[in-house]
């Protein structure tokens, strides 16, 4: 029986504490809503707090850490505390926590990354490959036909240019000077006659030995 009443008393006490805690949370929330619509000067006057910007080293900053104090005033007090304390104001630049990693230039409070443990940048690479494949699939088939037609048109133009060049060469031949045309005609006649006419060779004349006779005063030599 005693155990029953002990458990009962503990349960009632816990219920009372929970109700009291919920009432405090509700009252603090209502007060916070009222303070949010007021200016900093009005809030400081209502809570009986000094201006955070006027605090000096050695002053009590703990009064601004109460739950009833709005967040904006708490941050002003902490900023003044940091600036007034040389140990906090002159932070070593080598510490890895000395930078503001919540800056808007690098992210809204956090920085996202595509790196995965054990996979590295695999997801990012797969996404790029998928987008590239979609671009290839979305490419219209008419593009290939246009390339074939362009190649055929280019070949036709080249053939026409060759024919025009040959025609111009023939036309230019009729405009050559008269002397050059005559030389070309004679050359053609000689080449044609060599193929059908045999030139008769002249007979070889035998050379006779000449004998010379000298007369010395009537004596025969």
Q: pLDDT truncated to tens, each residue of the chain (221 aa)?
A: 567 778 878 888 888 888 888 888 888 777 777 777 788 888 888 888 889 888 888 888 888 888 778 888 888 988 888 888 777 777 666 666 666 666 555 555 556 666 666 666 677 788 888 888 888 887 665 544 566 567 767 777 666 665 555 555 544 444 444 554 555 555 555 555 444 444 555 666 666 777 777 777 655 44
Q: Write down the pTM of the prediction.
A: 0.33
Which residues are CB-neighbours of 193 under 8 A, at least 6 positions away?
Answer: none
Q: Is residue 120 part of a domain?
A: no
Rounded distance between C-alpha atoms, residue 154 and residue 142, angstroms: 18
Q: What pLDDT score was predicted for residue 175?
A: 47
Q: What is the pLDDT of residue 180?
A: 47
- E strand or H helix that includes residue 179: helix 178-196
Q: For residue 171, what are the domain limits?
A: 146-188
- Do 14 and 82 lie in one domain? The reply is yes
Which backbone phi and psi does 116 adopt, to 5 degrees? Answer: -125, 140
Among residues 59, 89, 119, the one where a domain terminates is: 89
**Inside any domain, residue 199:** no
Residue 59 within a domain: yes
Report phi then psi at 69, rounded to 5: -75, 130
Overall domain count for the chain: 2
pLDDT, position 7 = 81
What is the rounded distance in angstroms from the CA atom of residue 70 to the CA atom of residue 48? 13
Any alpha helices (H) in 62-141, and if so which ranges? 71-84, 86-89, 122-138
| Per-residue model confidence (pLDDT) at position 195 | 46
Is 103 a domain residue? no
Question: Are residues 8 and 84 part of one domain?
Answer: yes
Residue 132 included in any domain:
no
Rounded distance, CA 30 to CA 41, Å?
A: 19
Residue 217 lies in a domain: no
Predicted pLDDT of residue 197: 45
- In a domain, residue 208? The reply is no
Within a domain: 113: no
């Amino acid at each position: 029986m005693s155990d029953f009443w002990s458990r009962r008393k503990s349960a009632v006490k816990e219920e009372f504490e929970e109700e009291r805690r919920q009432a405090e949370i509700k009252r603090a929330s209502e007060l916070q809503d009222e303070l949010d619509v007021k200016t900093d000067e009005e809030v400081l006057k209502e809570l009986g707090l000094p201006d955070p910007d006027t605090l000096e080293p050695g002053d009590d900053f703990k009064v601004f850490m109460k739950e009833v104090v709005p967040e904006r005033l708490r941050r002003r007090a902490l900023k003044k505390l940091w600036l007034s304390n040389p140990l906090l104001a002159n932070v070593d630049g080598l510490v890895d926590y000395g930078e503001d990693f919540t800056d808007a230039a690098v992210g809204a409070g956090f920085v996202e990354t595509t790196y995965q443990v054990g996979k590295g940048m695999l997801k990012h690479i797969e996404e790029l490959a998928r987008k590239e494949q979609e671009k290839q699939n979305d490419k219209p088939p008419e593009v290939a036909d246009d390339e074939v037609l362009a190649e055929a048109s280019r070949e036709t133009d080249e053939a026409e240019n060759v024919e025009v060049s040959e025609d111009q060469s023939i036309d230019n031949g009729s405009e050559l000077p008269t002397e050059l045309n005559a030389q070309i005609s004679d050359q053609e006649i000689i080449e044609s006659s060599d193929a059908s006419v045999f030139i008769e060779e002249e007979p070889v004349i035998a050379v006779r030995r000449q004998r010379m006779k000298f007369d010395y005063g009537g004596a025969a030599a």
